[in-house]
A and B are shown apart, each in its own frame.
Chain A
């Protein structure tokens, strides 16, 4: 069973939110409440325990290459965000109960019957994807439609996407296809196009994403971290420095005791 994933091409996204609705319908997720934000057409704000796909609407004061917006320095970037199913997943590594596992599809999956709601995963995700639900306290996020994959079905969001902005498939093939798309865009004059997180080389902090994106501006513009690093990636270093600090403190204490006694005796 090869690794599966998403390639989300933001240049053909029309912001219809069919992915958000299909995800909620398939996974029977509750609404997030009815709040008008006044921020473009985004009224759900961000990914969370009950929003596993989220479409960002970025009204950007800069033109899109090869587009005449009729509005001067303006463009509207639309981008459907989702759990990245990192090759090296912070949530999975932080989970103390073993509730979060790597599946046979290479996706990162939270087993709701094992999760005890400790929330360590929440702070361990460099993207702010995983979240605890207020009512039951457990952590929830995109499952890559694990139940659908078991039946050889496409995840609900990719199935519903009318413009093939969300493409699902074998990761290796998706990466190839995405590379071709970037080249085609470059040829057509959209030289800003690049892939975000498609490989370990381009994003060492996560060792690459199983759900990666084609963007045309800096990641921050899409509310994505420019250099995400899984916290546990630094743990060896952290433990080493903590060990060294401990040793240093011990030495200090021993020294203080020795010299103190010596000084005291003087």
Chain B
């Protein structure tokens, strides 16, 4: 966090000054570790084993917050009889569909209930009941059904959880993660001691947790810990996602993602959303807050299509694009490389450096008809046709590339109005200070004028496929010499307004499903309340309460802490004076506190829904998690995650060791791209690639370096690509400090300098030693300082829920010297001889299954000794 979020880290240091204990878990000792109380070196890719060990510690030692767990989580819920846990099926859950390569989740459901709708998530990806398929909305309140509040029923969530993590012992953590037992226990004890009525602990994470084939489940594991300890919805608790760029939170809220519409409404699927009724039926919940779903989608359609969207024409729902499958980044690039795509917009991104398998990315770009790049400078993506490593080595000639490239210089944040949304969901407005120079323009300007031109182009078309463009409202007022659209007018539309009066609504509770309101993003509704730009508020901290509600604006409804009903006990009283936040005012018969209460304002803690209640009436007075269909925090996720209701330790796609906990080696639902230009290593113990590689970022540079490698003041601070290796590995391989080395995978070879440091240590895992190599990925072939592209080493393989690449844990090799003068990549032909009989477990469900995979379980049966850790190598 100190490395990548030094400004936010100010508050961590402030907390430390006030006595907080800082624990840092990371394969490398970083600038964060330097000021932490405790640094825990971990083998990259094993965090679920580590966190699962903490869950076991909490349960076995009865350190959980009992009242909170019993009443605010789904611990007492009883799961269907047919459910089988990973413990029963060697690492698989019940419901595996061998043909389709995914889980059918019916057996994961609550007893007596069908198709629970998840609070959020990619419900449409697989279009199955409860995950967005054509299920029936369920309206009965779940908490009336099949619960065991004594938590003793063997089929209740608590007991399933207990059994699931029973083997995640401190000894197992040591074997898998390379963390000595004593150090593990120190962390577990520190967390437990600092949780409960009087105290809370917070987790912060970044892409070190997400960029794995089990990325989403890493976060789920932390969520389970925090729910067990009562650290959610309370001040000083929570799980903070530290985002990789400014306003990445904003770009998921109002998404640049293929499978989401604004406000986490799923993108409709071609097969399962033939009309608005089908779509809402499979996405609304009968109970809790998602019962309001129809209001949000209808208001969004009104914002898109204005008066043309009417009840009779289904509010022009048909005009929305439809999913026909997975259209994520890696799938798109693979399709590009196969010549299935013509054009590509790249805005504020540098995928050739920042995404994985750079050689395949460049192959994709070579096969386009046209490419648009918008950035501050000519990035590697814009310059691939004349400066890429393939061009340098002569494997590709620029004259053979037919891609037409358009480069648009971008305005910086000081040259445009707009907002940032940070990880706290807080919007902060920035005002234009100066006019952009030359041809530089804002994204808003570009998209608005592109839209205007498209509308003009299709104005007279009679082709029905052009009607969505014709119907789109596109009437933002413009200002200034370049006809810049007014950013506040966009904010106004996002906020929502009444169709009749054109007055802004005061929040999402005013939105209607009858076409009388329009709203660009329901969760942001209220950001232009009273006609005021709420994100632009800058009341100083000293002039308001410590929660600072008048600085910027946070969604939803300016709440600074989500699910804050959980900060009060069953009767609505704060759990402790010290951790007081919101509470029930019995006299005024309403919720009140330092923050906007995240609950129905006048619903007393004693309220219990009647049987047969529907919609918001199902939320009882003790249901803090109002977005969940049952109002409870989910220890066990009956829907919403595609790779299991409970996080399970799977090894990365490429690992030095077999999975010690289960026969199933990797996440069975992961996405693979089995292509000749994207080869994988053996699942474990690949003699060609004996070391663990993990990538990271440095404070001195930003992501792909497009913004920082042009600045001399930053470039001099970290001028060259290097790898971090331990003195032990350097001695073993013969690496000279400050000298050159070559790092290889089956995908590519790169050269870099050697930084020998004690900050990265070989990990002892039982009888075995594992060496890890750290690689910062900021360099590329343009800029003041240049270097090889680290992400060229990494293959396409992803998490199934959010399609993120696994760049934080893979295997590779390192040799001294510069061996790749003519840099090579798998795209140009095999780099390493193929290995016969490479054992891999159940295949991932990748969109490009070129070759059948061997079943690991078979090979395991033949070679059971493979499960044992290999003897010491040195």
User: What is the interface size of chain B, counting residues whose CB is below 8 A from a CB of the partner?
Assistant: 47
The stretch that binds B, out of A24-32, A147-155, A221-229, is A24-32
Determine if A68 and B35 form an interchain contact, defined as CB atoms under 8 angstroms apart: no
Contacting B39 at CB < 8 Å: which of A24, A59, A69?
A69
From known contacts A75-B34, A76-B34, infer whether A34 and B720 are also in contact, taking CB-CB under 8 Å.
Answer: yes
In the assembled complex, 20 residue pairs joining A and B whose CB atoms fall closer than 8 Å, in A order, are: A12-B13, A13-B35, A14-B34, A16-B2, A17-B700, A20-B717, A21-B717, A31-B712, A32-B716, A36-B720, A36-B722, A68-B37, A68-B38, A70-B39, A71-B41, A71-B761, A74-B29, A74-B759, A76-B29, A162-B9
Interface presence of A15 (CB below 8 A) = yes
The stretch that binds B, out of A37-45, A104-112, A128-136, A235-243, is A37-45
Determine if B757 and A40 form an interchain contact, defined as CB atoms under 8 angstroms apart: yes
Determine if B29 and A71 form an interchain contact, defined as CB atoms under 8 angstroms apart: yes
Kindly report which residue of chain B lies nearest to residue A20, judged by CB atoms.
Answer: B717
Q: How far is the CB of B569 from chain A (nearest CB, A)?
A: 34
Interface presence of A248 (CB below 8 A) = no
Determine if A34 and B785 form an interchain contact, defined as CB atoms under 8 angstroms apart: yes
From known contacts A34-B715, A70-B39, A164-B10, infer whether A59 and B757 are also in contact, taking CB-CB under 8 Å.
Answer: yes
Contacting B37 at CB < 8 Å: which of A16, A31, A67, A77?
A67
Top 6 nearest A-B pairs (CB, nearest first) are: A38-B738, A34-B719, A31-B712, A16-B6, A36-B720, A14-B2
Given A17-B699, A20-B713, A20-B717, list of 12 further CB < 8 A pairs? A14-B13, A14-B31, A16-B2, A17-B700, A31-B712, A31-B713, A32-B716, A36-B753, A38-B738, A69-B29, A70-B183, A162-B7
Contacting B31 at CB < 8 Å: which of A15, A44, A71?
A15
Interface presence of A78 (CB below 8 A) = yes
List A contacts of B784 (CB < 8 A). 34
Q: How far is the CA of A32 from the CA of B754 in the complex (A)?
A: 21
From known contacts A14-B35, A41-B718, A71-B758, infer whether A25 and B713 are also in contact, taking CB-CB under 8 Å.
Answer: yes
List A contacts of B29 (CB < 8 A). 69-71, 74, 76
The interface centre, meaning the residue of B29, B737, B754 with most chain A CB atoms within 10 A of its CB, is: B29
Q: How far is the CA of A71 from the CA of B34 in the complex (A)?
A: 12
Q: How far is the CB of B314 from chain A (nearest CB, A)?
A: 52
Q: How far is the CB of B246 from chain A (nearest CB, A)?
A: 16
List B contacts of A24 (CB < 8 A). 713
Q: How far is the CB of A179 from chain B (nearest CB, A)?
A: 16
Interface presence of B40 (CB below 8 A) = yes
Interface presence of B444 (CB below 8 A) = no
Q: How far is the CB of B46 from chain A (nearest CB, A)?
A: 15
Interface string of B748-759 (1 = CB under 8 A from A): 000001111111
Interface hits, B701-724 → A, CB 8 Å: 712-720, 722
The interface centre, meaning the residue of B10, B712, B717, B759 with most chain A CB atoms within 10 A of its CB, is: B717
Kindly report which residue of chain B lies nearest to residue A69, judged by CB atoms.
Answer: B39
Give the interface SS of chain A, mostly helix, strand, loop or mixed.
Answer: loop
Interface hits, B683-703 → A, CB 8 Å: 698-700
Interface presence of A35 (CB below 8 A) = yes
Interface presence of B36 (CB below 8 A) = yes
Kindly report which residue of chain A lies nearest to residue B756, judged by CB atoms.
Answer: A38
List A contacts of B758 (CB < 8 A). 59, 61, 71, 74
Determine if A69 and B33 form an interchain contact, defined as CB atoms under 8 angstroms apart: yes
Interface presence of A103 (CB below 8 A) = no
What residues make up the interface of B, taking CB atoms closer than 8 Å to A? Answer: 2, 6-7, 9-10, 13, 16-17, 29, 31-41, 183, 186, 698-700, 712-720, 722, 737-738, 753-759, 761, 784-785
Q: How far is the CA of A164 from the CA of B718 in the complex (A)?
A: 23
Kindly report which residue of chain A lies nearest to residue B29, judged by CB atoms.
Answer: A71
Interface bin, chain A: 35 or more
The interface centre, meaning the residue of B37, B699, B719, B784 with most chain A CB atoms within 10 A of its CB, is: B719
Q: How far is the CB of B701 from chain A (nearest CB, A)?
A: 11
Q: How far is the CB of B603 from chain A (nearest CB, A)?
A: 42
List A contacts of B698 (CB < 8 A). 41
List B contacts of A21 (CB < 8 A). 713-714, 717
List A contacts of B9 (CB < 8 A). 14, 162-163
List A contacts of B722 (CB < 8 A). 36, 38
Kindly report which residue of chain A lies nearest to residue B719, judged by CB atoms.
Answer: A34
Determine if A162 and B10 form an interchain contact, defined as CB atoms under 8 angstroms apart: yes
Kindly report which residue of chain A lies nearest to residue B714, judged by CB atoms.
Answer: A21
List A contacts of B34 (CB < 8 A). 14-15, 75-78
Determine if A38 and B38 form an interchain contact, defined as CB atoms under 8 angstroms apart: no
List B contacts of A71 (CB < 8 A). 29, 39, 41, 758-759, 761
Q: How far is the CB of A151 from chain B (nearest CB, A)?
A: 19
The interface centre, meaning the residue of B6, B9, B16, B756 with most chain A CB atoms within 10 A of its CB, is: B6
List B contacts of A20 (CB < 8 A). 713, 717
Q: How far is the CB of A157 from chain B (nearest CB, A)?
A: 13
Kindly report which residue of chain A lies nearest to residue B699, judged by CB atoms.
Answer: A16
List A contacts of B757 (CB < 8 A). 40, 59
List A contacts of B31 (CB < 8 A). 14-16, 41, 76, 78
From known contacts A16-B31, A59-B759, infer whether A38 and B13 are also in contact, taking CB-CB under 8 Å.
Answer: no
Q: How far is the CB of A243 from chain B (nearest CB, A)?
A: 49
Kindly report which residue of chain B lies nearest to residue A165, judged by CB atoms.
Answer: B13
Determine if B6 and A162 form an interchain contact, defined as CB atoms under 8 angstroms apart: yes
List A contacts of B700 (CB < 8 A). 17
Kindly report which residue of chain A lies nearest to residue B755, judged by CB atoms.
Answer: A38
The interface centre, meaning the residue of A14, A18, A77, A78 with most chain B CB atoms within 10 A of its CB, is: A14
Q: How far is the CB of A9 from chain B (nearest CB, A)?
A: 10
Kindly report which residue of chain A lies nearest to residue B179, judged by CB atoms.
Answer: A70
List A contacts of B35 (CB < 8 A). 11-14
Kindly report which residue of chain B lies nearest to residue A188, judged by CB atoms.
Answer: B19
Determine if B714 and A38 form an interchain contact, defined as CB atoms under 8 angstroms apart: no
Determine if B716 and A33 form an interchain contact, defined as CB atoms under 8 angstroms apart: yes
Q: How far is the CB of A223 from chain B (nearest CB, A)?
A: 17
List A contacts of B738 (CB < 8 A). 36-38
Kindly report which residue of chain A lies nearest to residue B22, judged by CB atoms.
Answer: A67
Q: How far is the CA of A20 from the CA of B700 in the complex (A)?
A: 11
Determine if A17 and B717 form an interchain contact, defined as CB atoms under 8 angstroms apart: yes
